[in-house]
Structure 1
Amino acid sequence: MRTETDPGTAPAEADPPPASGPDTPPEGDNADGEKKPNRITAFASGTTRRTGEGARLIGQWLAHWASTADQSNDEIRRRLVAAQLEAYTERRTEVEAAFGKETKKVVRLEEEAADGGLTQAQRGQLTFSRETARRLEKTLKEMRKADFRPVQPTERQIARARSFGRLRRGGALIGAAGGAAAGAVNAPPAGLLALLAATGLAWWTAAHPPRLTHRPVPAELLLAELDPPAKPDTEIAEDGTVLEQAVVEDPALFCAETDRLTMAMLSAGAISEGRVRLAAPDALTRLANGWMAKVVLPKGDGANVETVLPKLGKIAGEMDSDRDRFFMEAIHASAGGNAKTIAVAMFDTDPFLNGVPSPLVGATTVDVWNRGIPVAVDAFGQIVYLVLRNTSLSLGGASRSGKGAALRGIIGGALLDMRVNVRLIDGKAPGQDRWRNLAATFIDEEGNRGAERALHLLEAEVREMSRRAAILKKYGVEDINDPKLIDELGGLELVVMDEVLPFTENKKFGNQIKQGLAALSARGLAFGIILILATQVITKGENGVIPRLVSGNISWKWAMRTTDTTESNMALAPGAASSGWDASKLDPDIKGMGILFAEAGYKRLRSLWIDGDDMLKLIANVTTARARAGRLRGQWDDPIEAALHAKKCGTPAPELPTQDGTTVPAVDLTKPGPADTAEALTENDWQILTATADTFGGQLNVLCRQVAEALQAQDGTRWADTSAATVGDTFRRAGVFRKTVRVAGQQSSTGAALDDIRALIKERTVGPGPTT
């Protein structure tokens, strides 16, 4: 081995090479004869260890990258703000392009107007284009003069963005690994080359370990617009004014329907500037025959719900529609509404043409205090509920307008709440006779007798207010603020008067009845005493059919079709017709169609339909539920009925079906009665149905009226005082209505045997006058 020495120094002699011989160990062995490591083996071992360490470092770096730990929170925040800047820039570009387009359109239309005039449609388009161009110019000026001020992301938004980044990077790694594995299987040479490259990278990484820290923020994210705000609070200018960011409209809130509505409102004078938009991107529902939407009125011109809704008719006309197919109404605050939010619906045909069955069919219970009674459906397909907690109702309309159907639903629904005591005053018997056995009090007599009983009922209810007030006083409250108090008070009192005129205009008792109604309407709701008043003749005033002292305290006013505009205003409110809410213009072919005036304003609706077999099911459900609950008349201590019985005008016990097994053959309605009976009763064939409660409530009372009319026609002097009620009382006292009738395929019910009826009729027509 040669070494360097100092100059002038002779080199030392090298040691002589060792002698060879049998005692000399071979090369690669030490003096003890052990094997020394081979250089190739040592190199391979070192390379393997280095490559493994590099692979470990690569794995750590990949985990660091996949977890987005290389990105600082500031970088993520800047990326989120950059997305806002990009959207702002795109929106500004869109506004500039749209402004240029609308300006060109205005110039073209103005040139055409100067040349030869415009059609009506073109004039409307010119007005709309001018307004659109003016609005876009205003938006563009605001965007140009106001600096971009983004909404700074919150810590939660940054954390969510980081989570999304982890998902994306993790997916990329899995995809890359899967692709590499598939490539190695399908192309082994390429897989071998990739393995060699990865091995080389691992070997190199061992000597150049990566730094697992945050990387610097990329240069493209170092723009001044993306810097964090100097102050976290609202920016304030030097003069003290709050700097507000220009409003950038979201294109998703505008569509063909809102543009058409904007043009219609501008033409109708409902708004003077701006553009109607959707309340949310999903606030529009397109239907097979129209559309419905929640829209927001534009800012800046003072337009709000109160100023726009009165122009519904004009807007409908500008929409090429009418009040039968175009609807607008306010949205209550509980549903997210405010002074500028309106529900709008437009249909190709009248949405009320098809009746909607009442959900009361098949129901076994109703909560009248919280949920309410389903009574009608509006143009938006929503069920309207009558909540008895703070609501009284007047129902007006001409004959055959649908008041009866509405009352059926109200009474039936109320009876399904065991807390409700229905006091039913039927002024046009037998209209409500189906409820005779289910109402807590039932009054249907004509003339003074019916008016006297009605007066005693109202007087008892007025006294009931005092009793209930004493109970509430114990709890330190003035009204029912907790539904738990209802049972202690004795339930809710629902006083229903179907046809007010015969009672309030009765010469003997009318004034006192009006006083009783006024007292109950003024204070009754606080004590759970509710009025439902229905009438055909809707005269108001200090001493009208429904006095002003009564109508002024009615919270719901529901008008079916009326005979004229004056009647409509009386049923709703003064000036309602001039505002477009005229019940005299309702379609007479749509029964139950009406206008409701309540706390939310005016609304068109149609009463839910329930009749025929559905009515029978409802009556059966009510009967079963009340019998089981012990809430049928006579099953519980009723202070009101007790007071009426003390006046000798209480309601008789209900005539409920019995189970004695009595069977009466079905009646052939086409078969005429005996010749002498038919002759004595003019030409009527007495058709008596048996077996159903609906029949009992309807046709048997029709029979009573026919009998009375026939007797009067036979001898007007002798039978002058005979009425349907008189005949009915006579039949009941004779026991005709107390048989249980069973007809094939139908349930047993109180009915009447045809022979018994005919025998009694014959007896009364040839014998002495009826017992009164």
Structure 2
Amino acid sequence: MTDHESAGTPPGTEPAPAADGSPAGPAGRFLARIALGARHLAAGLRHILTTGHQSDEEIRRTLVLRQLEAHDAVRDTAREELDAVRRRITRLELAGAEEGWTPEQRQQVRMLREERRRREAAARDMGRVPFVPVQPTADQIRRARHKGSTVRLLGLLAFLAALSWLLVQRPALLAPAALAALIWLWWSGGHPPVLAQRPVPDRLLARPELDPDAAPAALTAAPGQDDDQDQDTDLRHVTTADEATARIAAALAKRKVHVRSVAPAVRTAYGWQADLTLREGTVADVVAVLRRLDTDFRVGTGRTLAEGSTDDSAIVTLRVLTSDPFANPPAPPVRPPLSCSILDPVSDIVSLDGEPTPLYLAGTSVLAVAVMGGGKSSLVRDLADYVTACRDAVAVDIDPTGRGLGPLRRAALRTAYTPEAAEAELRRLLAEARRRTADLGETEDVWQVTPTTPAIVAFLDEYAQLTPEGKGLAIEVLRIARKARISLVVCTQDATADVMGDAVADVFPIRVLMPCRKADIGVTLWPSAVSEGWTAHHLTPGDDHAPHDAGRCFIWAPGHKRPILRYVPHIAPHDALQRAQERLDAGLPTLTATDGPQAAQAAAQPIVAVMLDAFAAAGAEELTVAELLDALAAVDPGHWTQWDTRPDRLAMGGREIKRALKDAGLPPVPTVRSKLPGRPSAYRLQDLKSALDETG
């Protein structure tokens, strides 16, 4: 085909040649080329206006793409609205923890949590609905082509109208525009348009959902995949890397995981490990089929693990446990009394590959989540064993249910085994944290830990059983105690927002997930943690007859941000009891003064210590007798609640406070009339400190 034919120029319409066979002079040749260029432009413009450059397949894929975008937009909107509800809950949780709750705020949070549950359920339901396109008919494709032509024609007319208006308004532009048009026509005269359909754009070919034979959810099978479904995928007795690689690839194909390649499998102490390169999707697609892969590989529940790469989102590391990596864990180390330092890491917990997991506890709080039988006691016992062997740390045992550290409880500096006592102890820790922070020097960022000024590690079990006031105090301690080198090791069976609060988990630098519920993982870490490989809900809790996965865990902590399975060695109760007694016999560290001479004297005067703690916790210079009685009753309810049923409780309690202060060796501490309604009797902090100074 000649250039003129490709441009739609009818044969025989070429400019008439001169007598010598060429167009009549240079002007004639120029005009002939201009005319030819006009025909080329007209043909090319007509080709585009009529969408002749687009094939029916391109238009079909474009129409299906619009369906897919609408399908995804609904889900994106649902996720954005769910995230907005979660952010509102988090803001309210933070405000309630810092400023206290009002009844309206509590009701608002309850309503938002209910809305969040509904939206999460709706999002899950939508996620289960695959994308099933409605393929356009030939008539719909013709209408789409006609609509495209109309839109292009209207656009051209609008452009010409705008250009004409501009030339009328600016006549000086007419000459440059005419010159540009002539140059364009002359150039087009030598470049005939290609009046053919273009290939389908890559952006439309890259989406498998747009294929004419796409299966629901766009999970199209790779060539030969149907044959792979019948291939043996049992990995228990495989001995060669090639065979393991082939079986892993076959299982992934069977489960519709689209991989570009499977790197050669590597034999490990626990089974097999292989790196996958995804052709599409994310690590969430692999995590979603892990339990089915357990069946394919013929391994136990939760024995197939997936981890996404932080450097390349297409890379996923798959680990298959054909044997128990923790069948013969290292024995817990024997630690003589006062042989450790809280400033050094505790490294008893071992990872899947046998490497230790160093954790620093000085000023670093821990959240451990495990259902009953998950191994929470083993974790707490292991950490407490280390803390009580330190020469520069003391342990505080808090458990509202009364069990506490069990065989190690005698090595704790203080204990609190009722909800009321736990609240009082948390109030005391908060006061200690505030005193330590206030005593920091100008060049000190954190409390200097020494054998005479030890760190404090409080083990708080069954967080959910605390009183509402106790939970608020625990949150306050968590938020301010890092600089004071005071840590909380908080254990709970339920980390959901109803129990822990949406904002609480964020204040723990170390988070341990043992066998737990799926809902706990998103609250403890972040909403998408499960889909990124943090699958602690796949672990099976143990019981008295079979340990199962008790003690196995995932840890998120400084230096440990990957979903690696780990194990906490178990210390037998009789061994723990023997260690506690040895440390008690050798002498445990004690807390010394942190608030000047008054605190030193108060250490031997329990009532003074409690009163100073009450002033510090309230941040007040004056407390009423009623407020002081409440603080004293929290520490010693048996004594300070004996007048609660009497109408003269304040009078009797006030006399007992005066008597106890006198018995402590203090001179008379005057009371004052508070400015509160009713002008109740009160004590001033300055008067109490002055009395302590007189005894010094």
| TM-score, normalising length: structure 1 | 0.41
Indicate the structure whose relative CO is greater, using CA pairs within 8 Å and at least 6 residues apart.
2
Who wins on radius of gyration, i.e. which is larger?
1
